């Protein structure tokens, strides 16, 4: 018998990035926007986190070792569907790459370093990249 899926926690965002400094900067910006923030160092840790807590949103690095952000998003969508907001955080900015990331299941994408204003706008945007490289 499987246990029920955890309920979504409104106002909580999880930053998934293998770089400490990027996680710290994202945390600072997101907390100033009123979010509660948790952090994961990679895809496997993020999947384990989702076993007990489902945040309103996740800010996910695209290029991580062991499990890429787009693979993580595919697994999250397979488990949880579209109820969780998934924002890609990337240094990539070629149009073909961005389309592929959105096709993987991200709701929107932010180019690093994303400003606080861009992070705020990403909370509302759906299926867009709105990115300038």
Residue 116: inside a domain, yes or no?
yes
Q: Give pLDDT, residue 125.
A: 63
Residue 44: inside a domain, yes or no?
yes
Q: Give pLDDT, residue 93.
A: 80
Average pLDDT, integer, range 70-74:
97
Residue 128: inside a domain, yes or no?
no
Question: Which uninterrupted H or E stretch holds 103?
Answer: helix 95-104
Which segment of 72-76, 115-119, 123-127 scores lowest on mean pLDDT? 123-127
Residue 22: inside a domain, yes or no?
yes
The total number of structural domains in the chain stands at 1
**What pTM was computed for the model?**
0.90
Residue 47: inside a domain, yes or no?
yes
| pLDDT score of 102 more than 60 | yes
Model confidence at 41, pLDDT cuts 50, 70, 90, reads very high
Residue-wise over 104-125: b if at least 16 C-beta within 10 A, else e? Answer: bbbbbbbbbebeeebbbebbeb
Average pLDDT, integer, range 93-110:
91
Which residues, other chains included, contact 85 with Cβ-Cβ below 8 Å and sequence gap of 6+? Answer: 56, 57, 58, 107, 123
Which residues, other chains included, contact 81 with Cβ-Cβ below 8 Å and sequence gap of 6+? Answer: none
């Amino acid at each position: 018998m499987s246990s029920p899926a955890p309920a979504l926690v409104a106002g909580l965002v999880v930053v998934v990035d293998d770089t400490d400094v990027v996680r710290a900067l994202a945390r600072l910006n997101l907390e100033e926007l009123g979010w509660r923030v948790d952090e994961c160092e990679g895809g496997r840790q993020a999947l384990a986190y989702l076993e007990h807590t489902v945040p309103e949103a996740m800010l996910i690095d695209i290029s991580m070792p062991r499990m890429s952000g787009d693979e993580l998003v595919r697994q999250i969508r397979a488990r949880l569907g579209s109820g969780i907001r998934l924002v890609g955080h990337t240094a990539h900015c070629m149009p073909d790459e961005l389309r592929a990331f959105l096709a993987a299941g991200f709701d929107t994408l932010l180019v690093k370093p994303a400003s606080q204003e861009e992070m705020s706008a990403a909370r509302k945007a759906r299926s867009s990249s709105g990115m300038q490289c």
